[in-house]
Structures are given as structure tokens and as C-alpha cells.
Amino acid sequence: QKEVEQDPGPLSVPEGAIVSLNCTYSNSAFQYFMWYRQYSRKGPELLMYTYSSGNKEDGRFTAQVDKSSKYISLFIRDSQPSDSATYLCAMSAYNTDKLIFGTGTRLQVFP
Amino acid sequence: ETGVTQTPRHLVMGMTNKKSLKCEQHLGHNAMYWYKQSAKKPLELMFVYSLEERVENNSVPSRFSPECPNSSHLFLHLHTLQPEDSALYLCASSYIPGQRSYNEQFFGPGTRLTVL
């Protein structure tokens, strides 16, 4: 079993849709949960970060962590064509430099 | 230059060639990383340098040889590669754990490597 599972997509939605991206994980030691966005021909950039369980909102983006289910989500409201990218979840245990990544979900938002 | 830069952006090499990838970070970080990104696979951590000391080598074949001469520069020396080594090679940097509560890694744009 992989430590982190993420549906690779692709996911294609119309502009304005609500997008839900998800990852599951198996390691209960993970404390930090991150979402990276990677545009074509670019490196990943950190989009959202959450510590332990709970929700975090930043503009149109909401990150949710449910540690009891080992499940994390990223919601994008009012999706825009500029949101078209690959979204990678990543997680780590406390005080470690090792990030464990999912495979990434490719999202396309069409006008 | 800002952030993390990588050169070259694209590299095509034969199996018998020797080449090097270069990474430079302008963020004042003290940890640097090499990752391999292949289609439909998670990012694979290859090497970690913390305060210029190698702290992790994830069973990477010896045809990949990293070098970290100082906290701002990281190299990946390549020799006698195989076609399956074709991938996007990403460099990242961060503060070492303990200096921040979580490990936010900043990535460069990557080098697209093709091995013929």
C-alpha cells in the first residue's frame, strides 16, 4: 500500500464549478498537510498548508484534514481557467525534512 | 535572480555521456533536495543535504552523484544513464526542521532530461 494515494485524474470542469481534490494516507504520524500546485513546465509551488485536523481557508481555496479517516481535501470555489494545473498533496511527520507526495491530480477548467 | 533556479532547463544525452545539473537557491535556506518526477508517479526524493551535509540517499543508483559545495548551490552529476532515467529533475530548498514548524520546500522549474 502506498503511503499517500491520490487520483491522478484528469479532472475537467467548467469555469465557475466547485472542485474537490482528495488524498488518503496510511501513516498516522503525519502532522503537516500541504497542497502544491504545479503549472505546466514549472516546479510545484505551495498553495495551502494545514497542521493536524481542521479546515483552512484562503480566498477561493479551502483545505480540510480529517486525521481520523486519514483523508485530506482541497476545495476550489468558482474555479477559473487559470486554476488549470496539477495539484499535489504532500505530508510529513513532525520535525522531519521528508515530504511524502501523492501522484498529483491534473485539473483542467474550461471557459 | 530570485527563488530557486535550475540549469539547464532541457537536456538530451546519450547513455555514455557525462553531464551535470545545477541548482541555485537565493532564499537563505540551509537544506536542499533533489527529486525525480516521472509521469503518473509521486515525486521521488533522491538526495537531501542539510547544512551542506548529505543526510539522505534514497537508494539512488550510483550513476547519479550529488554535490553540495555550499548552502546555495547543489549539483547532480550524471553518467552512464539509462533510458528509464528520463524524467523531470526538480531541485528544492527549505529551512532545516526545527527552524520552522513545518518543512515548506520551494522548488525550481526543473530540468527535463531525456536519455537516448
Question: Has residue B100 got a pLDDT over 80?
Answer: no
- Contact status, residue B31 vs residue B92, Cβ threshold 8 Å: no
Secondary structure element (H or E) that encloses residue A49, with its range:
strand A45-51
Angle at B114 between CA B33 and CA B37, to 5 degrees: 35
Residue B93 pLDDT level (bands cut at 50, 70, 90): very high
Return the half-sphere exposure (C-beta side, CA atoms, 13 A cut-off) of residue B36: 18
- Measured from the Cβ of residue B45, the count of other Cβ atoms closer than 10 Å reads 20
Q: pLDDT per residue over B20-54, tens digit each? A: 999 999 999 999 999 999 988 899 999 999 887 88
Question: Is A43 close to B101, i.e. CB distance below 8 A?
Answer: no
pLDDT of residue B98: 63
- Find chain B residues with C-beta within 8 A of A4's C-beta: 42
Asked if B25 has any chain A CB less than 8 Å from its own CB, the reply is no
Per-residue pLDDT for B63 more than 80? Answer: yes
Chain B residue numbers with beta carbons less than 8 Å from the beta carbon of A101 are 42-43
Buried b (16+ CB within 10 A) or exposed e, B53-67: eeeeeeebeeebebe
Contacting residues of B for A100, CB less than 8 Å apart: 42
8 Å CB contact of B50 and A97: yes
Banded model confidence at residue B99, pLDDT cuts 50, 70, 90? low
Q: Does A1 touch chain B (CB under 8 A)?
A: no
pLDDT of residue B15: 86
pLDDT of B2 above 90: no
Pairing of strands A100-101, A85-93: antiparallel
Residue ranges in chain A whose pLDDT is less than 70: none
- The answer to whether residues B47 and B33 touch, using CB atoms and an 8 Å cutoff, is yes
Give me the mean pLDDT over the B64-74 stretch: 95
- Show the cell assigned to A23: 488524498
Of A32, A42, A43, Cβ closest to residue B102: A32
